[in-house]
Structure 1
Amino acid sequence: MHDRPPVSKVYYRPIEAAIRWAGLLKQKIEILRLISSPRHLPTTLNFPGWAELRLCTERIYDAIFNGELPYGCNGITQNDKALWDSPDLTIRHLDLKRWMRDHYPEERPAFLFSRRERIAHPVITLETGQAMLVERQALKAELAQCRRRLQTLQEQHHVLSKQVEVIPACNECSITDRAESTYQHIIGSMLDLMLGQSPAGTPYSCFRTQEAIVSALIAHHDGIMGITERTLNGKFAQARRRMRSLTP
């Protein structure tokens, strides 16, 4: 049984650092067995995470070749190009951490950064920040549109409430099919809005179910004609069916 390699070390060979960066430390022995040159990895290999491992390796060597990442021999920093193909080529932990923080700030592999560092210093790249800003502006526009729609519905409801007050409460009074459809559209729209939420997930009202709306209406307007559980549930059901029939 092989001893498990340490996650963090004082210095690493490039392939060791790349394996840790790609999150393949448990497969280290198998990976080393499959490759003939730590610097020149096969382009393709039927191995999970191989493409990422190859990319991490190329990034490290690219930094060494371009003078961005100090290197040396067996942990001793040197500037000797003859070491580039040597199996003794190494990179110090501190140098690798500093290089990754400068050139790949969105990367925080566990072998270089502690859990506290990964949590306390989340990194948002410029591209991510711009995308978040665009999304925020879009959500603000949608919210403003929803608020305007809510205000319109509330005004319509107010007008209808006034009209209801002046309609004689008698059996001879009737409304046309067009008017009935209009009322159902308004009631259905208000129900959908009161039970809905904004694009950001914020509920438009405190009501979560139709039953809660019915209970509140009865509690505040008990005794008024039509404000009964049976009537309200019936009218609400008709209005919601009407709205569903209009949905393409």
Structure 2
Amino acid sequence: MANPWESDNCDEIRAYYSAYYIPQAAALWCGVPVEVLKQILSQATETSRNIYAHPKISCLEPRCRAIHDAIDNNKLACGRDGKSPVFDSEDHVAPERRTVSRQDLKEWIVKEFPSNKPEFLFDEVERKTHSAINAESFRALQVDRDALQRQLQSAKESIKMMELQKYEVAAKLKQYEERLKCLDNAINPRSEKTYLNIIGALLEVVTGTFKGETFTSETQLRDFIEEKFDDLRGVRSRTTARIFAAAKRALNDDMA
């Protein structure tokens, strides 16, 4: 298994100190891939000294001119055949022998053409970043964005949970409203009279006139009340069966 340092071809480092002849730099700026660079330039025509035009690459000639013009006006340093850049404008370098370093060319393009970032000079982050924002600031913004996205996801989950709780509460509220409505209907004057009559009859059976009577079932008790208190409202066996059942449910609910 190869060690990491044995497989690293240092492309980024090599590119940092690379130098290009003017037609090469112009063609790469136009987006010509490195592997076909020689072929493309061999098909180009020299329109003036070291300025080339290509029938299918319209930007080649103007970019050759722009680079030469920047060198002539001391806006872009050039070297001679790839050697160290010459900064003294009086030190003449023949146009054919002019070369520009990758870094100098990159800085010049950033300054003069901030919206134009060719792939051979700028990485993906730099191409997607506004000229006023450097790569470090862009990455910091990405970190902030990721944190905000996580917060947004958490907020969405919280909202979903609250909505579920809201539905549960609404269902409970509806249930309570229905129970309250039943209670309102149950405690009207007529119903109240029925309840009081049944309670009164039970008291008579348990502690009053009929004390000592025994019953083997609830049915016998209801029938007895209906027989002895037939003149009272609500003491019919069917009514007392319903009310007894409701009373048992209420008692069980409270004892649960």
Tell me the TM-score normalised to structure 1 length: 0.40
Which has the greater radius of gyration? 2
Tell me the TM-score normalised to structure 2 length: 0.39
Q: Higher relative contact order at CA 8 Å, sep ≥6: structure 1 or structure 2?
A: 1
Which protein is richer in helix relative to its size?
2
